Structure 1
Amino acid sequence: MILSARLLRTYHTVRPNPDFLNASAFLGTVGYSVRRYYKDKYLFGFGRTEDIPTGTLLSATLGYELNDQDHRNYYGARISTANFSQRKGYLYLSGEFGSYMRPSTGSWQQGLVSTEVLYFTRLYHAGNYQWRHFFWNRSAIGINRLSSDLPLSIEGERGLRGFKSASDLRGTSRLVLNYETTVYTPLSFLGFRLAGVIFADAAWLNTRSKRTLPIYEKPYTGFGLGVRFRNEYTPIRAFQILFGYYPRGLTTNSGYRIYESSRPYYDFSDFSFGQPSVARYE
């Protein structure tokens, strides 16, 4: 059981627009967290033992903000849980809500509802080849956001891997689906081990201020394959070279892109939280 509090003072020396207000806020959080760790291989590494966090997290945040215009309350809640087994794989579920409420009018402001589901299958074998399937779903729904709020993006790790939009493509709500298969091979050359990657991504982005849900928009998609390398005799991290095809929205007219990446696209939650904060809208 964790109790935490925070006093936050925000002061602007320059204001790009009237929405940037000086404010003092007090936030308090009460949370319950349980963590357990399991061990497995061939998740993000090439056969080395990796820790898999599971458990439960429950938290509630209350706050009060006094700004240049008015005062308002903040309400937030988060729930997360994960389970793992060698036969069924790993499943992570998370949901979060956070929003300001103006007592004088009873209206909600700068709210956010977000969800996340991450699932990967057990490790499959065929001779010396081993592989897993990864599924990832994320959503972020903005509620009565201000015009000065930085809208959501679907580039890179926030949406379609390897995607670079031709314009400043942003919106108020987002829904993302990611799929990947990683095949670890027995091939090795000069200490470099090789794995194959196949992926398919889709993202819905709401760009209309009068609409909340993003599912009414035409999705942006990305499809690709590539290879991942790791050298066991050097301190170089695993890296991958990917070839992606994006039917719409890419900076290049052809829709194709070849790029290099040195970080895993997926990551675990460790069921911990620090200082109280408002729900992150990014």
Structure 2
Amino acid sequence: MVKLKFSGILLILIIYFVILHTPSIAQVNDSLYDELDAPVDTAYFYKKLYNYSKNRKAAYFLYKSVFNPPKWVNATKKTKKKSKNDPLRKFENKIIRKIEVISLDPTGTSISDTSRHPHSVLQKTVNKIHIESRRRTILNYVLIKRNDSLDILLLKESERLLRSTGFIRDVRMELRAVSGTRDSVDIYIYSQDYWSIRPDIVASTSRVKYSVNDRNFLGFGHLFDLKVTDLLKESSPPILDGSYTVPSLGTSYVSPKFYYGTSEENNIRGIVINRPFYSPLTQWAGGLDLYSRVYTDSIRFTSDTIIKYFYRSFTTDFWAGYSANLRKGITVEERSTRLVSAVRFSRTRYPKVTPGTDQLKELFSGGELYLASLSFSARKYVTDKYIFKFGDVEDVPDGRKLTLTSGVEKRFTGSRFYVGIAGALGSYFENIGYLYSGIGFGAFVQNDKKTIGLIRTEFIYFSPLLKMNRWYLRNFIETRFIYGVNRASNEFLYLNTDDGIPGYREEIPKGSSRLTLTFQSVLFSPVEFLGFRFAPIVLAGYGLIGDYNQTVFGSKLYQTYGLGLLIKNELLVLNTFQITFAIYPILPQGGIDYRFNPVKLSEDRFRDFDISRPGIEPFQ
């Protein structure tokens, strides 16, 4: 049994944080974007195809329906590298005379070339069906207002916030000096929508699940999600799971979410009202959750004791936080260095639990949680491309944070004290790549009982975009370790979670400690065929599960190896999709498993350095 000493853990975390406290200086060169965005010379192919089809009605109709050819004049256009000096600085502190919003359709348009228009029948039809983002929806995310003095940091934060909405693919803010004045500036916001509606149907012999997701409902930026499941062989009403989210009430960043579910896994109804620390400059944040849940499942307490249970619960969860500036100055680093204090109260009640065994009473006894946290945070963002998204601008978090959390949990079995500490830092170095590391410790301490806790570490790396002739390669490495201390008999770690092995589905092995390692390489190809661009993917994943009788290094090594292909065509409506194939050479029951499309590569795998509600380190 490993004995934890909190003072030792605290010392390790402080040393870790201090050693890597210095922020990175060498950052990614923006001039890379121009080079990557230079169009591939396919003009000859398109021109030959156009000349062939223009005098043939059927061929020309198909051509117009499928393709939106680039302008021949721009096909071999050379790009110039940007100056390292920020051209926006000359507009700093000028008075904003007006803010114009130009919203571009999701298909056949471009932020970098606003003269580009859709030509294919399919794209024009999609754009007509699509409801574009409303002007007020865009302005709700803009932190600068008319008649304000221009703050370049707020301008760049507004761009980032718009890209983070999920319904804006890209945004560019253009500053123009006002003719006849020296102290005024006009701002033009060019935003391109995503195609926001995602329908889906999943069928089996026993059920059919229909779902629709709209990330920009009626152009208001609201998120609407609905799933309806029809149990074909049962005379029961359809199962409903739905939610409706308003990302921001006006410019307040107060976001209410309503959700309703009737399925066994998600029989939950409630409302969440939240205002996060959406920007490094945000001072106040907080939230309130109110929801009820009905749940049926079974749980294993020992190797031969499995209990099927039912419960009904009600939860109230409130938190509030305040962020104060730690450093005086005008630089991004100085303005983004914050000291954040936050408090949280959470209460859960179980008015009905069946059967009423002592084990279930202890597990579902309800209780109250009181937490307070004090955090140091410094964050900014670096823009790059070709990381997790295929060519879209991405905001890479760059910063560090340290959080101390303590509090009391009151339960049926008595009160216990909680203490936790977590640190993280990440920087994007121009010639090395992106480095992120995190470490955390959390423990419940109760008189006359064993301390229950965990230790976790993680490391994430991705390389700079490596150029090989006209090919571009980016490599990724992720490793995570978690160790549980005196966890309950029904608490386990698995390999089939998001932090486990990619695509692994088995519930065995399970234990109290886990170590995973994942490699991934993406090769962005210059090959273009009929407007399609390709990015081959190679991945490998490894996982170890240990328990209190055997360390992770003494356990069986589970593995996966996979190949995939990212495919993108700007001339088509659904412009990015992926195909993957993986092999699992070691299974708990023996044998080898092959799977088609087991892995869905996420488009949002960054770890940010923002501060949220005080919480307990999760054992999962």
* TM-score, with length taken from structure 2: 0.42
| Greater share of helix | 2
Residue 252 of structure 1, CA deviation: 9.4
* Aligned match for 2:451, one of 108, 111, 122: 108
| Greater share of strand | 1
**Partners in 2 of 1:265 and 1:247 — Cα distance?**
27
1:14 match = 353
**Partners in 2 of 1:225 and 1:119 — Cα distance?**
20
**Partners in 2 of 1:230 and 1:252 — Cα distance?**
38
Residue 190 of structure 1, CA deviation: 4.2
Distance 1:97 1:235, change over 3 A: farther
Alignment size in residue pairs: 276
The residue identity in structure 2 corresponding to 1:30 is: L
- Of 5-14 and 229-238, deviating more is 229-238
Residue 51 of structure 1, CA deviation: 1.4
Q: Is 1:129 paired with 2:471? A: yes
Distance 1:157 1:191, change over 3 A: farther
Asked whether the 8 Å contact 1:239–1:263 carries over to 2, the reply is no
**Partners in 2 of 1:66 and 1:22 — Cα distance?**
9
Q: Is 1:255 paired with 2:596? A: no
Asked whether the 8 Å contact 2:509–2:588 carries over to 1, the reply is no
The residue identity in structure 2 corresponding to 1:155 is: N
SS in structure 2 of the partner of residue 164 of structure 1: coil
Distance 1:41 1:235, change over 3 A: same
2:485 match = 143
Q: Give a deviation string over 1:190-229, Cα, whole Å, max 9, x none.
A: 44321011111100012x4444x42221110111211111
**Partners in 2 of 1:169 and 1:30 — Cα distance?**
37
* Aligned match for 1:164, one of 488, 491, 505: 505
**Partners in 2 of 1:59 and 1:42 — Cα distance?**
32
* Aligned match for 1:180, one of 505, 515, 520: 520
Residue 45 of structure 1, CA deviation: 2.4
Higher RCO (CA-CA < 8 Å; seq separation 6+):
1
* Aligned match for 1:153, one of 489, 494, 504: 494
Among the aligned pairs, what percent are the same residue? 29
The residue identity in structure 2 corresponding to 1:164 is: R
Asked whether the 8 Å contact 2:479–2:517 carries over to 1, the reply is yes
Distance 1:250 1:68, change over 3 A: closer
Q: Give the greater-gyration-radius structure (CA).
A: 2
Asked whether the 8 Å contact 1:163–1:250 carries over to 2, the reply is no
**Partners in 1 of 2:496 and 2:604 — Cα distance?**
15
The residue identity in structure 2 corresponding to 1:204 is: L
Residue 178 of structure 1, CA deviation: 0.5
Q: Give a deviation string over 1:111-141, Cα, whole Å, max 9, x none.
A: 1111110011111111211001111101111
1:80 match = 424
CA RMSD of aligned residues (A): 2.2
Q: Is 1:23 paired with 2:23? A: no
* Aligned match for 1:246, one of 572, 577, 584: 584
Asked whether the 8 Å contact 2:388–2:605 carries over to 1, the reply is no
1:270 match = 608
* Structure 2: unaligned runs, 5 residues or longer: 1-338
SS in structure 1 of the partner of residue 511 of structure 2: coil
SS in structure 1 of the partner of residue 413 of structure 2: coil
Asked whether the 8 Å contact 1:245–1:256 carries over to 2, the reply is yes
Asked whether the 8 Å contact 2:454–2:484 carries over to 1, the reply is yes
SS in structure 1 of the partner of residue 553 of structure 2: helix
Asked whether the 8 Å contact 1:193–1:229 carries over to 2, the reply is yes
* Structure 1: unaligned runs, 5 residues or longer: none
Q: Is 1:232 paired with 2:570? A: yes
Distance 1:202 1:266, change over 3 A: farther
Q: Give a deviation string over 1:82-105, Cα, whole Å, max 9, x none.
A: 111221100001001111001x22
**Partners in 1 of 2:588 and 2:448 — Cα distance?**
43
**Partners in 2 of 1:239 and 1:251 — Cα distance?**
33
Distance 1:19 1:148, change over 3 A: farther
**Partners in 2 of 1:123 and 1:187 — Cα distance?**
17
Asked whether the 8 Å contact 1:6–1:28 carries over to 2, the reply is yes
**Partners in 2 of 1:147 and 1:19 — Cα distance?**
11
The residue identity in structure 2 corresponding to 1:194 is: F
* TM-score, with length taken from structure 1: 0.90
Distance 1:119 1:266, change over 3 A: farther
2:552 match = 214
Q: Give a deviation string over 1:26-52, Cα, whole Å, max 9, x none.
A: 100111111111122221223332211
**Partners in 2 of 1:134 and 1:53 — Cα distance?**
16
Distance 1:124 1:200, change over 3 A: same
Asked whether the 8 Å contact 2:532–2:568 carries over to 1, the reply is yes
**Partners in 2 of 1:99 and 1:41 — Cα distance?**
40
SS in structure 1 of the partner of residue 586 of structure 2: coil
Residue 241 of structure 1, CA deviation: 1.3
Asked whether the 8 Å contact 2:585–2:591 carries over to 1, the reply is no
The residue identity in structure 2 corresponding to 1:85 is: F
**Partners in 2 of 1:235 and 1:44 — Cα distance?**
20
